[in-house]
Chains A and B, each alone.
Chain A
Amino acid sequence: SIYCMPSFQQRNLRKEKSRNAARSRRGKENFEFFELAKMLPLPGAITSQLDKASVIRLTISYLHMRTFASQGDPPWSPLLEGDNCSKVRRSSHSLATDMFEQHLGAHLLQSLDGFVFVVSQEGRFLYISETVSIYLGLSQVELTGSSVFDYIHPADHVEMAERLGIKPHLRAEAGCHMAPDSASSAASTSSLAGTPEPGPSSPHSAADEPPERGFFIRMKSTLTKRGLHVKSSGYKVIHVTGRIRCRPALVPGSTRSVRRPMGLVALAHTLPPSTLNEVRMESNMFVFRVNMDLQVTYCENR
């Protein structure tokens, strides 16, 4: 058929149709967002407040976490009921067992004096415990699925990437291209920014080294005051201790199996320790204070 120029009314009608279609589509999308948010394993009070991007981000992160749990070595299988309790004892201890065993994770989290997190090889938080708000004032929802490098002091990016076994990615403006070997010895004042790339930084990747990790980095904290004179204000020093989780993978073209790192599972403590501030003094104790060079600056009379 011959195409003729649509008239003014026709054009208007078409516009209105598309507007309606868009509105209806948006409505359907919003409904799905809402549904998706409800499926997230978070309290309803939180999920109802989430913006759309966060809903997607948390969903993605949750699915990654499932893969992390099931495909890594050893796989994190759920605890079976009759595993380790003998039948005799079971009845008498069932209550305590129920109370604690089932919610072991929650109790552990509450008892710890730090927070826990999992970082993927892409440098994203796959999981971070809600207790991070106690120590850093950051929100679990905001951090889950985000890049760790957004929350670590820029000067510590290189170290973090190294520990994870990934290559730090430099912005083009920085103008320097670092070989993986020299990345570790780069000055801390480098203009690193942007998302680091996944991938092993050296031929013998992180999987060949012992999985244990222990290092110190500075993370953003809303609890420290941002002062003009303090260089690292707004950051807290974190002692990270944990392990790299790997999964077995077959080398293509051979029967050899290698271990590919999936991410880091770690415990984080703020320094100086924030939990207990009071020490009980006996009668045979006295207090003295020293400088960093062990020079006594104050001593009690007794």
Chain B
Amino acid sequence: QQAKMKCFREPHRQIEKRRRDKMNNLIDELSAMIPACQPMARKLDKLTVLRKAVQHLKALKAGASGAFADAKHKPSILPHDDLRHLLLRAADGFLLVVRCDRAKILFISESVSKILNFSKLELTGQSLFDFIHPKDIHKVKEQLSSSEMPPQQRLVDASTGVQVQAEAPARPSHLATGARRSFFCRMKHSRVTGKHEGKHSLPAASKKKETYRYCTLHCTGYMRTWPSGQLDPEGDAVDKEMPSLNCLVTVCRLHPHVSHQPLNDVNVKATEFVTRCAIDGKFTFVDQQATTVIGYLPQEVLGTSCYEYFHQDDLQHMARKHRQVLRSKEKIETQCYKFKTKHGPYVTLQSQWFSFTNPWTKEVEFIVSSNRVISGPGHTKDENEAGSSKSTQEEAQQIPEIPGLSTGVGTMIYAASIGTQIANELSDTYRANSSPSSGASSPFGSVQEKCPLTSRRVSCLTATEDQFLKFFPVRCPPGEPSQLDLDLPGLSSFSSDEAAMAAIMNLLETDVNMSQSGDFEDLHWPF
């Protein structure tokens, strides 16, 4: 039990100590503020500091011009003058008091001269409407006027948009003392040449056809009632009969212009997305983010060769980089290149490629590409690309429209084959390096393995396959009954059969992709 008591006492002691320290710090700080405490050589004790502080404040009070002496109004923590200056420094505004019935300006503060260029004398006693923009007069009238709303009007809650149920009789609270107002209006700004020219550039000023400019002010305030005799001694006889005047007390301030930006720029991260493709350049994975950049959904793009989307000017460069990445263990940076988006225009990308090698087979399995958007469609940048070879351009133009398939496929076929070609080069080197197996060394070896795949695919094609096969006979390698003859224009320029085969297969894939949403990601390429 003794231990428990001790437990409680410990923190309490600490609490007490902390309180004492805090108080001592405060006393020290206070003594630093009191002139009488300053020149002392040694630290003064608490009581003396307090006494001197009281004396100091008394002296200040006596010296002040009665700012605190006003017993009628409750004292504010700041002398009124300070508050006025403070508010002026915080916001560019002035106080405006108007009679609700006539809109006569009963009071306007000095600061109006800085904002509207009129002196307060010019404005006091005038009608407010003389200084409001004609189009805003109606709104200001409304703010000053009675609460009765014509039946076609209704009140809507600004935060929800739901109609507020207005009571049938006029709501007295609208005019009552304390009811708040907040509105924007334009007030005349007098152009006095030379005086404030250039110094106060009012961003909100707008030119009117006559000599006046207007500036937009945000007016916030409240309604208040005062005895009329006190307020407006110049009022006419009718006024005298009114016991009290409804007035609107508002502060009208200029909206602050955009402050200067902080020194650090906002860094916008460039859009990046990741793709993965097989060694022949066919997409096997596409980041979801890609859709925002290229327009295609991932599933639309999977299985298609990336070369189909490269601009033809970039093909040579990309092919070179493709070869490079397959043979290098490092990250390869491409130059900026154009990538065709779904709806036509090209987006400029720049990618970082990295090939992944299977540690057991020592063969490249796939290429990971981290793509960064350099600029969107519409920005045509002249890249310092190596000029595309003439042959490729001619080839691309020679391919006629293939019936049964969408236009542009001809280009696609050719482009995709680049990837496959490069991939095949790689696999050739693998074959060459690895121990020769039966038939594997022959260039047709890979095709032989591909063919069963082809026939497998052919079987899952839809009705279009018949049409297709009529036009494009497929040459099968020896050992299998050849069904069709290859007759694809443009393919004659291919150096190897497998490239042609690859092109056909790509065509089939494209077709399949269009007809069914199967993905070939889990198909194991027999490399």
Number of interface residues of A (CB under 8 A): 91
Number of interface residues of B (CB under 8 A): 90
- Report the minimum CB–CB distance from A45 to chain B (whole Å): 9
Chain B residues whose C-beta falls within 8 Å of the C-beta of A110 in the assembled complex? 221-222, 249
The closest CB in chain B to the CB of A102 belongs to B80
Q: Are A279 and B87 in contact (CB under 8 A)?
A: no
Q: Are B156 and A107 in contact (CB under 8 A)?
A: no
Question: A69 and B82 in contact (CB under 8 A), knowing A84-B120, A96-B231, A104-B109?
Answer: yes
B232 interface neighbour in A96, A97, A266, Cβ under 8 Å: A96
- B3-23 contact mask (Cβ, 8 Å, vs A): 1 or 0: 000000000000000010011
B262 interface neighbour in A36, A184, A272, Cβ under 8 Å: A184
Classify the interface of chain A: helix, strand, loop or mixed: mixed
Chain A residues whose C-beta falls within 8 Å of the C-beta of B257 in the assembled complex? 212
Q: How far is the CA of A33 from the CA of B250 in the complex (A)?
A: 40
Q: Pick from B78, B91, B222, B231 the residue with the most CB of A within 10 Å.
A: B78
Residue B67 at the chain A interface, CB threshold 8 Å: yes
Q: Are A267 and B91 in contact (CB under 8 A)?
A: yes
Question: Which residues of chain B (248-285) have a CB below 8 Å from chain A?
Answer: 249-251, 256-260, 262-264
Question: Which residues of chain A (79-96) have a CB below 8 Å from chain B?
Answer: 79, 84-86, 89, 92-93, 95-96
- B134-167 contact mask (Cβ, 8 Å, vs A): 1 or 0: 0000000010000001001111111101011000
Q: Pick from A43, A104, A140 the residue with the most CB of B within 10 Å.
A: A104
Q: Are A53 and B22 in contact (CB under 8 A)?
A: yes
- A185-198 contact mask (Cβ, 8 Å, vs B): 1 or 0: 10000000000000
Q: How far is the CA of A86 from the CA of B119 in the complex (A)?
A: 12
Q: Are A127 and B78 in contact (CB under 8 A)?
A: yes
- A39-79 contact mask (Cβ, 8 Å, vs B): 1 or 0: 11111000000001100111110111110010000001111
A298 interface neighbour in B76, B161, B251, Cβ under 8 Å: B161
- B106-118 contact mask (Cβ, 8 Å, vs A): 1 or 0: 1101100000000
Residue A178 at the chain B interface, CB threshold 8 Å: no
Chain A residues whose C-beta falls within 8 Å of the C-beta of B251 in the assembled complex? 107-108, 111-112
Q: How far is the CA of A277 from the CA of B196 in the complex (A)?
A: 38
Q: How far is the CA of A16 from the CA of B124 in the complex (A)?
A: 72
Residue B374 at the chain A interface, CB threshold 8 Å: no
Q: Pick from A62, A76, A212 the residue with the most CB of B within 10 Å.
A: A76
A60 interface neighbour in B26, B80, B220, Cβ under 8 Å: B26
- Report the minimum CB–CB distance from A76 to chain B (whole Å): 4
Question: A78 and B159 in contact (CB under 8 A), knowing A56-B23, A283-B152?
Answer: no
Q: How far is the CA of A271 from the CA of B142 in the complex (A)?
A: 25
Residue A209 at the chain B interface, CB threshold 8 Å: yes
Q: Are A105 and B57 in contact (CB under 8 A)?
A: no
Chain B residues whose C-beta falls within 8 Å of the C-beta of A278 in the assembled complex? 155-158, 164
Q: How far is the CA of A104 from the CA of B414 in the complex (A)?
A: 82
A64 interface neighbour in B33, B81, B155, B262, Cβ under 8 Å: B33
Chain A residues whose C-beta falls within 8 Å of the C-beta of B97 in the assembled complex? 96, 100, 107
Q: Are A36 and B53 in contact (CB under 8 A)?
A: yes
Chain B residues whose C-beta falls within 8 Å of the C-beta of A272 in the assembled complex? 159
Q: How far is the CA of A266 from the CA of B182 in the complex (A)?
A: 20
B86 interface neighbour in A76, A275, A288, Cβ under 8 Å: A76
Q: Are A29 and B233 in contact (CB under 8 A)?
A: no
Q: Are B220 and A275 in contact (CB under 8 A)?
A: yes
Q: Are B53 and A78 in contact (CB under 8 A)?
A: no
Q: Are B30 and A78 in contact (CB under 8 A)?
A: no
| Further 19 A-B residue pairs, CB within 8 A, beyond A41-B77, A282-B153 | A25-B47, A29-B46, A29-B50, A39-B57, A42-B75, A53-B19, A69-B82, A78-B79, A95-B233, A99-B230, A102-B70, A109-B87, A111-B251, A202-B263, A212-B260, A241-B256, A277-B158, A278-B156, A282-B152
Binding site for B on A (CB under 8 A): 25, 28-29, 32-33, 35-36, 39-43, 52-53, 56-60, 62-66, 69, 76-79, 84-86, 89, 92-93, 95-97, 99-113, 116, 118, 127, 130, 140, 144, 162, 184-185, 202, 209-210, 212-215, 241-243, 245, 265-267, 272-273, 275-283, 287-289, 298
Listed from nearest, the 9 A-B pairs whose CB atoms lie closest are A105-B83, A214-B259, A32-B50, A283-B152, A76-B85, A39-B57, A111-B221, A113-B220, A111-B251
- 22 example contacts (A-B, Cβ-Cβ < 8 A) are as follows A42-B77, A53-B22, A56-B29, A66-B60, A69-B82, A76-B85, A84-B119, A95-B230, A97-B107, A102-B80, A104-B95, A106-B83, A108-B83, A144-B77, A212-B259, A214-B258, A243-B89, A245-B89, A278-B156, A280-B156, A281-B154, A288-B161
